[in-house]
Chain A
């Protein structure tokens, strides 16, 4: 009997030790792919990694991976969706809800910017140059993201449909870093003016910070020139012509990129980094590709190699229409825009404009063939992997021309227009009055098609969008579909938030 009692005692003691030995601490398991948010932004290397993390978000499809390069064309009057994969068809018809959807991604990146901005003063090990660089980069990207949010969800100050104006977007300059703050947050939209002031302020400070501190690797990183170029664009939308002209001049003389010439323009588009870029989002390796369905290359062309229509590359979902081809000096394309494989290609005539060499008949394997844009062609060395020129010299030159025109400095405007024309293989023109503005807009189509600008040009100028005949209607610029719908979840339970009209 005694042995039994002993055995039970030993057994119970063993159990007791096991139980006592398992404390709360033993139950903690730490991840190995992630680090704790409490200590994440406390060193120079981790803050720098967080800055890189923000740059990386610009590659996403809803930002510069695709949408901000193509929606501005397919939703406007210079491009159509081919319905080869079915993508971009809704946007091409301006269907209800088929619009930019950068809200969530942009605000996530904006919060990442704010987190870094809040962390900078605490990194005592960082040099003054490093701090300036981080702050300048974060303010530049934040301004870029905010301006794109404004382009999608709000009117530009130069043309506001008052009846449909629900203001700008939500301004955030402080970081959210815990769930309680996040759960309690009930944001409201700031006014359009407040938003533009916020963006201009960011770019002004960023320009100062980056004056001497910018990291090597332009145009793939923020520089003072990039800040000024973006500022020129923002002021163009804002209608502050003097500021736009000043910023444009600063950008053009900022030492990042140069205007290409008629002789090297096409080659510039074949290089992995476009020599005209003032800011460019880099896609360096194949793993960064958005793939065969959504990358810029597959969206723009069905070919696998330039001049090789039998190699099946991608879809070719978005192509220029006759309006754009006409601006580029290409004629002879039938009004249906397409040619069956079975039919011999019609003879095309091309003007001396070198830019039209970036357009050719697309692949035969997804019949029929369209005139496709070859600006994006796996230039990083891998299929469907291209650096994305966000802002480049030609655009800034045209911004300055437009600002000069608005300031009644027609000579300066014409000078900039002709600088561009000559460098694109065209003869200079002599114009006056509104014809100058029309020529600027014509050059913008020829220069920037498939770079996402036309829709915004129409919107900021308040012009109706005469869709391609194959789509067959005119989108009045007062139509509710001009603005994107704010994600429905943003409105649920938040009385401060206002949806755009019509959604």
Chain B
């Protein structure tokens, strides 16, 4: 104690007198087995004085007399602190571990020790997700964080992902979480011009150090108005002081379709068309019906059944849904010394979707640099550059002209249409005299091959920050960042194709860019007094401006198909220009107190002002409080510490907001864009809503964290009730007012749920088996609309008591066995061919799952590692447009599902659920067979999301003096358990003309120097 006191006095003297007295100390650093550790960093605590160890683990350092402790650290070893005594030689023995520091969680504008976090936060670390070949990192959240539900909108590589954290809270405003990368809020717009983009596809997954997902309102209150749907904080990998690491990683593989449909041949299609036409024209003669059917199918009227059976059926599905390739190359260089650390990482990814010609090519470069300018000042910068090139499916990714999408057309085109001519040219192009028979009267392969449909996304996300340690524990941080994204698209409709033949080609180009600027300034205080009273405090302000602009032009009339840029076209068609922007200004603060590592309380507060809201209500406040009790640290728990290693109780309450509406929804507007007789016109496009304000989310969260047997079993359970009130709702107006809706703050949606994590080290010896089970239950319902309404006018599925995304349809009653006509239930339970809207409609499922989660198993033995990861969803219902089309069976001249064909009604008395074929699908004085519940499908599934087998060549590593050599085999989406009839149960949307997800197999090699 006396020595310490002396050192303190010495330190004080040194500081005030600025007289430095130094001495040389030496030492050695070993691992647990006594082997020397090279390149370990040796630092005098609280200073920048330090060195790294040589190959034999030795070091020599000139230390000031005031030096109190040495901090010795190396990658993959626990940090060790050694008191500096009068001795001049020291030895350190480092423990190998991956958990070298007390776990910290990024909670927004500061890091917090995990044990002090009392709100609902999930963390995913780099190790859990390494080498998984996804094209955008948000897909990695699927099944790995309780309460985070992720659905791929489709399988477009680099396409957007639908993420709901603790359910959907808004009816009309957005429900997608906020992504923050290294402190910079990313613009979340998914620009869809030719194909879909994903705002965070610019990140290479292996550049990510961690995801911290803020789930409840207490955690997200720090992000105020933008936090209401949860916040995903992404931290990228940085360099560390110590040895320089070089890592190379190569992964090669192939992608293949999840499924092909079992479809009909032309003879069966002919049969179904004949039945459909006869049923629709009961008075027509069999001969006339047959003639009409054959004509519609492009078959000679003289063809006999045997002739038709002998027609060749071409496999369009396998022509269009291909096996693609997948390549990923990465190189990174990370390292630094006590003053400067750096990280440079580059990657290239090429992923083919299974749908011809969709693909994704991405190059990324991420550099970061941290430098200690002086004892008190540190500067940091990080810049991410990326470029993404995508080939889009014809007709756009989101449907539209889905007939041209080969995933749709390949399964529905009449199969006796040839794909190519004998000379290899496409069959059925206009002017060839050949005609593609059926509704799909064009060659969809030619459409995708000849058109140009490209999208290039260039994105720059960069930031610079300065940290200034004003006093002990008090730090100022100023950060300036930019997220700039330019999406450029090019479409060319080839004049050799039907659609563009008469127009002599069509071309359009668009450029769309987002300029998202952000700066924040914080004062951060963090000190523990008397080793008992821990105080953290934060105060800050933030400003963000986000501008979106677009220009575009289109033209038609090209001299030949070789001319593909709009300047060579004869007729300009249109020019577009667009501008939109918003600003948000915020003040925020946080105050935390921790007593004796037992009791902790955190208050936070944010005040946001946004340009999106009504002039009367621009500003709003978002408070939160978090309480925690680490019961295990109580004295009375010592007796049970042999089996109960952790027990923590948590409670949090908070408010955050949702502002995901259009930038100008509060304003009364006259819009342009109408024209008549070559003269521009204006019209009243939007009613003003001057009192419009934030949608508010208020949430109570109760949590418990448990650890048993030295944390060999860990569990964590959270229970929450989330209330979204004052919803930003497009309040319906009676159309007779001349308007459809205006944006108002009315209505309330409640999400109640339970989330649980269970981690068990089942076997923890030489052979290790760890398992992690994640479960979430969420009940979602609308608790209030406005004016006492039980149903939202204009949308019968939005009703009090019903979940968002409900289907409100007539219940299907099967087929009348006597006539083969589809029937539905009326409200009174009787049967009808014409169910009334809405009187006969009932709730029938919802699009969001009730239960979801994941299940992970990791086995390791010596140099082998095997991991299996499943995710599951239960309680979801979807309508699948493509399955609907393919269930018509004779309704129109295209192909359908064998399952439906086999079950179709044929003879009186037959009991089945598939109605008789009927030309045009709606039977006489009947609702269409697409009406109601018949076309809703359960989309429950369990999917083997990832399997990875890895082998570490440790012997060779030693010989070659490498740090890592690892070979791995990986499979994604290899197996799905589901009854779903469409391409993919995960899909969100109408499912017509989608790009289905793929499965892939890869092999990879990772080398570290």
Contact = CB atoms under 8 A, between A and B. Distances in A.
Chains A and B bind each other: yes
A411 interface: no
B677 A472 contact: no
Contact of A503 (B498, B501, B734, B836): B836
Contacts of B579: 31-33
Interface in A156-186: 170, 172, 175-179, 181-183, 185-186
A343 B301 contact: yes
B737 A176 contact: yes
Interface stretch (A81-89, A399-407, A436-444): A81-89
A53 B295 contact: no
Interface in A300-326: 304-305, 310-313
A221 interface: yes
Interface string A488-500: 1110111001000
A104 interface: yes
A55 interface: yes
Interface in B483-503: 498-499, 501-503
Given A15-B541, A35-B670, A342-B300, A27 B922 contact: no
Most buried by B among A15, A93, A97, A493: A493
A311 B430 contact: yes
B470 A7 contact: yes
A84 B438 CA distance: 9
B441 A312 contact: yes
Contacts of A86: 439, 891-892, 920-921
Nearest to A14: B521
Contacts of A115: 684
Nearest to B687: A179
B435 interface: yes
A22 B281 contact: no
Given A31-B667, A472-B282, A341 B796 contact: no
Nearest to B299: A342
Nearest to B733: A182
Contacts of A343: 291, 295, 301
B927 A183 contact: no
Contact of A488 (B300, B733, B838): B838
Contacts of A342: 294-295, 300-302
A343 B684 CA distance: 55
Nearest to A303: B502
Interface stretch (B17-25, B91-99, B607-615): B607-615
B471 to A, nearest CB: 7
Interface string A355-373: 0000000001111100000
A343 B292 CA distance: 11
Nearest to A341: B295
A185 B736 CA distance: 9
A217 interface: yes
A50 interface: yes
B682 A365 contact: no
A220 B668 CA distance: 31
Contacts of A489: 732, 734-735, 793-795
Given A4-B471, A29-B663, A338-B295, A487 B670 contact: no
Contacts, number: 326
Nearest to A308: B502
B922 A286 contact: no
Most buried by B among A4, A33, A487: A33
Interface in A92-142: 92-98, 103-104, 107-112, 114-115
A276 B114 CA distance: 82
Contacts of B610: 27
Nearest to A287: B574
Interface string A31-54: 111111110110000100111111
B731 interface: yes
Interface string A260-289: 000000000000000000000010111110
Contact of B734 (A46, A185, A469): A185
Interface in B839-897: 891-892
Contact of B435 (A35, A365, A473): A365
B3 interface: no
A103 B682 CA distance: 21
B735 A179 contact: no
Contact of B685 (A34, A89, A177, A487): A34
A57 interface: yes
Interface string A449-480: 00000000000000000000110110000000
Contacts of A305: 502
Contacts of B838: 488
Interface string B587-611: 1000000000000000000000111
Contact of A368 (B295, B578, B664, B683): B295
Interface in B461-481: 470-471, 476
Interface of chain B, main secondary structure:
mixed
A286 B571 contact: yes
A367 B295 contact: yes
Chain A's interface size range is 35 or more
A181 B924 CA distance: 44
Given A37-B688, A336-B291, A473-B924, A27 B675 contact: no
Contacts of B792: 492
A176 B926 contact: no
A178 B688 contact: yes
B680 A49 contact: yes
Nearest to A84: B439
A92 B674 CA distance: 32
A111 B738 contact: yes
Contacts of A284: 675-678
Most buried by A among B501, B678, B683: B683
A55 B501 contact: no
B928 interface: yes
Contact of A27 (B298, B611, B679, B924): B611
Contacts of B731: 183
A292 interface: yes
B467 to A, nearest CB: 13
A93 B926 CA distance: 9
Contacts of A81: 920
A366 B681 contact: no
Given A36-B668, A56-B675, A93-B920, A310 B583 contact: no
A14 B583 CA distance: 21
A114 B742 CA distance: 19
Interface string B781-799: 0000001010111111000
Given A366-B441, A368-B295, A487-B794, A29 B669 contact: no
B556 interface: yes
Nearest to B282: A472
Interface in B143-177: none
B744 interface: yes
B406 to A, nearest CB: 20
A179 B688 CA distance: 7
A56 to B, nearest CB: 4
Nearest to B888: A86
Interface in B217-248: none
A86 B684 CA distance: 35
A34 B789 contact: no
B672 interface: yes
B580 A31 contact: yes
5 contacts: A31-B580, A31-B667, A52-B675, A367-B435, A368-B292
Given A97-B837, A183-B731, A490-B736, 7 more contacts: A19-B541, A107-B737, A107-B738, A178-B688, A179-B688, A340-B292, A487-B735
Q: Which 7 A-B pairs have the closest CB atoms?
A: A111-B738, A340-B295, A53-B681, A489-B794, A37-B668, A52-B681, A368-B295
Interface of A: 4, 7-8, 11, 15, 18-19, 22, 24, 26-29, 31-38, 40-41, 46, 49-57, 59, 81, 83-86, 89-90, 92-98, 103-104, 107-112, 114-115, 170, 172, 175-179, 181-183, 185-187, 217, 220-221, 282, 284-288, 292, 304-305, 310-313, 335-336, 338-343, 364-368, 383, 469-470, 472-473, 485, 487-490, 492-494, 497, 503
